Chain A
Amino acid sequence: MKKILLSVRKKAAIAVTFILVFAFSLLFLFPTVFTITNSFMSESEISANYGAVFATGDAGGKTYISEKVNLKLIPDMVTFQQYYTVLFKSPDYLLKFWNAVILVVPIVVFQVIVACLASYGFARYRGKGREFLFFAYIVLMFMPYQVTLVPNYLVSDFLGILETRWAVILPGIFSPFAVFLLTKSMRRIPESIIEAARLDGAGEWQICTKICIPSCRSSLFSVVILIFIDYWNMVEQFLVLLTDREKMPLSVFLSEINTGEISLAFCVAVIYMIPTLLLFLYGEEYLVEGISSSGGLKD
């Protein structure tokens, strides 16, 4: 009897858990699916469904067909008109896409390089104040970007790189998050391996590049993915440090959706998420492994 009760409870728990998980997963998935499906709707349909949301006082007294928002997942008529408009008739979007690539790729690359070297130092240095130094470096990670925005602006102005892409790239290169992740990962490397390498005559550089960094590959991939995602979606730095609209990435324009082309916004969002998605798919297991290793979890 007890056994039967236990199995029922177990099953019920499993079911409830499943339902909850399913519900939450739906909730998480819904915006993405919604975005993708709505990108295949025509402009008139989108305007009819969502126009009232973006109505402003300058609409000239017009009233939309639907006064309330009508969330639709299945288009009345599937059309690629918006994709055509975005990809073939709107070069601005494509230029903004490449602006984002030009800004984010250097940040990722240089941040990884700096993080590797810094984390090696933090992992191997046994001197005094190591922890304090590490803490001081990491505490910045907890600060919101707005706290460091003004100093960044002033320093950029001082260096004369304001209004240039370097004003965004340079602060990004020295982000502490990557250092934190990689340091944790490197500290898990057994000392004996390092000693053995030293005994074999390897120098610090060789130990770093040939032993430590390959060992932290998973953490490295996770760092790359997380940094890419972070900066690919960034908006504030570009708005503050870059005033030239021509240098703005696409994330800035996606944040300015208005009564203009809502349908184009869906289409742009779909295209904008593709690089992130591909990167994630490519390094998915590394990401999981990296985060878990940095959290100290053992496989």
Chain B
Amino acid sequence: MENEAKIKNRGWIKNAAIIFLTVMLVLTFFSNTILNWSLPEVSGQYAGYGQIKTSVTGTGTVKANMNYNVVLEETRKIESVLVKAGDIIVPGQTLFTLEDYENTELDQAEQSLEEMEFNYQMKILGKTDDTETQSNLEELYETLKELKEDRVEAVKNTDLVKGSEELVKIYQNERDKYTQSVSELEQQVSELTNGEAADSAELAAKLEELEVAKKNLEAAEEILAEKNDIYEEISGSIDLSYSAALSAYESAKKAYDDAYTELEYMQEDYDALVNSSESYEKLLKKYQDAEKELEESKSMLEAAQSEYESAKTAAQNAYSGNIDSDSEYNKLVEDQKIYDAALKEYNEALASGDPDRIQSAKDALDALTDYSKEISALNAYRNAKSAKEEASDAVDIAQAEFDEAKNNLENASSATDSEITTAKRNLDRQKQTVSEYSKALAKARAELNQATTDDNRLKEAKDAVTAAEQSVKAYKKESETIQKELDSLLSDETKRVNALLKEENEKLKAVTLKYDEENKKLTELQSKVTETPDQIDEQIKTTEKQIETAEKEAIKQEEQGNKEDMIFNLELERDLAAIEKQREKVEKLREKTYDMEVVSKFDGTIAAVNVYSGSTVNAGDILAEIEIAGKGYTLEIPVTTEQSRAIAVGDRVTVDGYWWANELKLTVSAIKPDTSKPNEGKIVEIDIDGEVTNGQTLNVSIGERQSSYNLVVPNSAIREDADGKYILIASAKSTPLGSRYIAKRIPVTVLAKDNINSAVDAGSDYGYEYVISSSTAPIEDGSQVRLVKS
């Protein structure tokens, strides 16, 4: 029990140890990864002594140096305000619109002027004694005026008549032109309808082509008629037709062939009779020879058979094996060769006398067997066997020949002499018949040849007729085709000409209409013109002479007047002078009247607008303030007191981020207190010389001074939060496991700054530790970090 408990205990401990080691091993592999994965990596540097090129930067708005106030010189009401503060304006731009008003002063002055002129006129008119002369003068004036008006009217009407006459003439010319064109086209249409080519080259060519085709057709038809005549002539001249001649020839030939065949048969029979008597003796002899040959071959076979039997017995006695086996025979031959060679060696050994050789040869020889007897017996047997076989074959051949000769002999027969004579007579008779048929055949052949010749001539004539007919057909087709094309061309041309005709007719119609209208207008104008301008001029001259005479008369009468007239004249002069003064006054009043708009006279920016729509402006009130452009610009930027110490009047200022910065010249003109932050900052005033616009924003940098500082850190190391600026340092904490780095916050004050570094004051908290400038993840005070591996 106790042991079991101990074993169980050990088992548990062993398992615990295994698990522990396994866990440690796994954690060893992955702990570094987990660590690196979780900690942000930081980089930075140690802060130390350095130099900073400082420049004060700031941003400001460009302002113009000169201002202008827009003022009205009389009381008006503003209808609308078209600008606002900050707007950039140009000369002539409307700033305000004013409401319309009644200028009573001007009205009064104009009215009094009219009254004065009226009184003056009335005075002049009321003073005249000779009313008749005056009325006469008035009538003359009136007549002159009417004549002038008539002249103007006459001139106008005369001009109109001239214009109308020209137009009528133009329309008439056009009408004539179109009329002629229409008649020409109508003529063309009639020609085309009649099938005439008119002026078309294509049509003329087509007609000519048609003529040629027709001529060809006529020629072909003549040829056809000629060929037909020839054919008729040949056809009438033939006596015997080819078919009849052929038929007669064939009959004659058949008769001849039959007779000749019969003759050949008879000849053969005769020859056979003659031959048969000769061949029987030959066949008999052949039979006898074959019989003899057969007997000889049989006897030879018997001899060969007995020879074979004896050789076989000898071979069987000499050789115990299979005497018919070729393989055994060949083996025996081979063994015998070996034996012969051994024997030869033995003999040579004996000849040499070498006992060892002799012994070895003898031993070799003794080891072999001499098969010469067996071989010779087998050879004899084989030879006998082959001889027997040959004899047997010879017997078979002789037997076959004998059988054939016997057969031929039995079939042969012999003919008698009478049979031969009869056959000869019949043969001769037949020969004669054949001769007669031969003559008839020759005659039929001649007739056939003639008929063939006639037939060929007829065929040729027929072919010629056929060719002529085809030629006629072709020419006919060609002329029909050409005719169709011609008709088509005529039709197209006719259509074209008809279209032109229609167009011309329409134009003629329009022109005729215009002509009629213009003609009618001319007639009306001519009826209006009763007198010519020259005639009216004559009348005007006459009337002017009459007026001059009447005026002289009136002046004469006036000069002859009494004292009252002089006084009256003086009064008139006075009134005239007063009228002139009044006129000047009215002119002045008119000049003084304002337009409905107030426009800008300068280029600039609206600094302030002091009125509003609907407000009434008195004379002398400032409507708006304008900052005039082109009179120089100023830029103001706020700086800290500390920064202001680094700036001096006259310092050169550079513009940042402005394309034409190089064309500007900026200089610090003044450093003045910032009223909004009295003790904290100042305002730096900068004069701008160059092309800028009022209201433009510029980023500027003033001065570049290099100073040395104890603590310089990268700009990226400086962070800021609600409590101010600070830096983070990597504070090392050593542990049993190694150093661990914790980010620690150190508040700082930035003393100076350039684009890369900043000089800071870290107070007593900072002991020149490692300043963190960048990290892979956001870090804050107290975060554990890891340094980037260099």
> Binary interface profile of A, 73-94, with partner B (CB < 8 Å = 1, else 0)?
0000000000000111111111
A240 CB to nearest B CB, Å:
20
Complex alpha-carbon distance, A212 and B349, angstroms: 90
CB contacts (< 8 Å) of A261 on chain B: these are 733, 735-737, 740
Complex alpha-carbon distance, A87 and B35, angstroms: 10
B763 within 8 A of A: no
What's the dominant secondary structure at chain B's contact region? Answer: helix
**Restricting to B36-51, which residues have a CB under 8 Å from any CB of A?**
38-39
B6 within 8 A of A: yes
The answer, among B17, B31, B737, for a CB contact under 8 Å with A275, is: B17
A227 CB to nearest B CB, Å:
17
> Binary interface profile of B, 434-477, with partner A (CB < 8 Å = 1, else 0)?
00000000000000000000000000000000000000000000
Complex alpha-carbon distance, A87 and B20, angstroms: 12
| B737-A90 in contact (CB<8A) | yes
CB contacts (< 8 Å) of A282 on chain B: these are 10, 13-14, 17
Q: A278-B20, A281-B13 are in contact. Are A91 and B735 (CB under 8 A)?
A: no
B416 within 8 A of A: no
We find that the number of chain A residues with CB closer than 8 angstroms to chain B is: 32
A15 within 8 A of B: no
B135 within 8 A of A: no
**Restricting to B278-325, which residues have a CB under 8 Å from any CB of A?**
none
Q: Taking CB as reference atom, which chain A residue is nearest B20?
A: A274
| A94-B28 in contact (CB<8A) | yes
Q: Taking CB as reference atom, which chain B residue is nearest A94?
A: B28
Q: Taking CB as reference atom, which chain B residue is nearest A268?
A: B736
The answer, among B13, B24, B734, for a CB contact under 8 Å with A258, is: B734
Complex alpha-carbon distance, A86 and B38, angstroms: 14
| B736-A253 in contact (CB<8A) | yes
A180 within 8 A of B: no
Q: Taking CB as reference atom, which chain B residue is nearest A254?
A: B736
Q: Give the most central of B21, B28, B738: most A CB within 10 Å.
A: B738
| B13-A90 in contact (CB<8A) | no
Q: Taking CB as reference atom, which chain A residue is nearest B10?
A: A282
| B31-A91 in contact (CB<8A) | yes
A214 within 8 A of B: no
B596 within 8 A of A: no
The answer, among B24, B34, B734, for a CB contact under 8 Å with A88, is: B34
Q: Taking CB as reference atom, which chain A residue is nearest B32?
A: A91
CB contacts (< 8 Å) of B125 on chain A: these are none
A257 within 8 A of B: yes
Q: A278-B13, A281-B13, A282-B14 are in contact. Are A87 and B736 (CB under 8 A)?
A: no
CB contacts (< 8 Å) of A90 on chain B: these are 31, 35, 735, 737-738
The answer, among B20, B27, B38, B735, for a CB contact under 8 Å with A94, is: B27
CB contacts (< 8 Å) of B767 on chain A: these are 60
What's the dominant secondary structure at chain A's contact region? Answer: helix
B219 within 8 A of A: no
CB contacts (< 8 Å) of B734 on chain A: these are 258, 260
**Restricting to A94-120, which residues have a CB under 8 Å from any CB of B?**
94-98
Q: Taking CB as reference atom, which chain B residue is nearest A61?
A: B764
B16 within 8 A of A: yes
| A275-B20 in contact (CB<8A) | yes
Complex alpha-carbon distance, A93 and B38, angstroms: 17
Complex alpha-carbon distance, A118 and B6, angstroms: 31
A82 CB to nearest B CB, Å:
11
> Binary interface profile of B, 49-65, with partner A (CB < 8 Å = 1, else 0)?
00000000000000000
| A88-B27 in contact (CB<8A) | yes
A104 CB to nearest B CB, Å:
13
| A91-B28 in contact (CB<8A) | yes
A256 within 8 A of B: yes
CB contacts (< 8 Å) of A94 on chain B: these are 24, 27-28, 31
CB contacts (< 8 Å) of B39 on chain A: these are 89
Q: Taking CB as reference atom, which chain B residue is nearest A98?
A: B28
Q: Taking CB as reference atom, which chain A residue is nearest B25?
A: A98
| B34-A89 in contact (CB<8A) | yes
Complex alpha-carbon distance, A282 and B17, angstroms: 9
CB contacts (< 8 Å) of A93 on chain B: these are 736-737
| A86-B10 in contact (CB<8A) | no
CB contacts (< 8 Å) of B28 on chain A: these are 91, 94-95, 97-98
| B32-A265 in contact (CB<8A) | no
CB contacts (< 8 Å) of B13 on chain A: these are 278, 281-282
Complex alpha-carbon distance, A94 and B25, angstroms: 8
> Binary interface profile of A, 261-299, with partner B (CB < 8 Å = 1, else 0)?
100110010000011001101100100000000000000
CB contacts (< 8 Å) of B34 on chain A: these are 88-89
| B20-A264 in contact (CB<8A) | no
| B10-A260 in contact (CB<8A) | no
The answer, among A60, A89, A259, A268, for a CB contact under 8 Å with B31, is: A89
Q: Give the most central of B21, B24, B736: most A CB within 10 Å.
A: B736
CB contacts (< 8 Å) of A96 on chain B: these are 737
Q: Taking CB as reference atom, which chain B residue is nearest A93?
A: B737
**Restricting to B742-781, which residues have a CB under 8 Å from any CB of A?**
767
Complex alpha-carbon distance, A60 and B21, angstroms: 42
> Binary interface profile of B, 705-729, with partner A (CB < 8 Å = 1, else 0)?
0000000000000000000000000
| B736-A260 in contact (CB<8A) | yes
Q: Taking CB as reference atom, which chain B residue is nearest A255?
A: B736
CB contacts (< 8 Å) of B736 on chain A: these are 93, 253-254, 256-257, 260-261, 264-265, 268
Complex alpha-carbon distance, A88 and B13, angstroms: 25
CB contacts (< 8 Å) of B32 on chain A: these are 91
CB contacts (< 8 Å) of B737 on chain A: these are 86, 90, 92-93, 96, 253, 261, 264, 268
CB contacts (< 8 Å) of A87 on chain B: these are 27, 31
> Binary interface profile of A, 233-266, with partner B (CB < 8 Å = 1, else 0)?
0000000000000000000011011111100110
Instruction: Enumerate 12 A-B pairs (CB-CB under 8 Å) in ascending A order.
Output: A60-B767, A87-B31, A88-B35, A89-B39, A92-B738, A260-B735, A260-B740, A265-B735, A268-B736, A268-B737, A278-B13, A281-B9
Given contacts A261-B737, A278-B16, 14 further A-B contacts (CB under 8 A): A89-B39, A90-B31, A91-B31, A94-B24, A94-B31, A97-B24, A258-B734, A265-B736, A268-B737, A275-B20, A278-B17, A278-B20, A281-B13, A282-B14
Question: Which residues of A come within 8 Å of B, CB atoms?
Answer: 60, 86-98, 253-254, 256-261, 264-265, 268, 274-275, 278-279, 281-282, 285
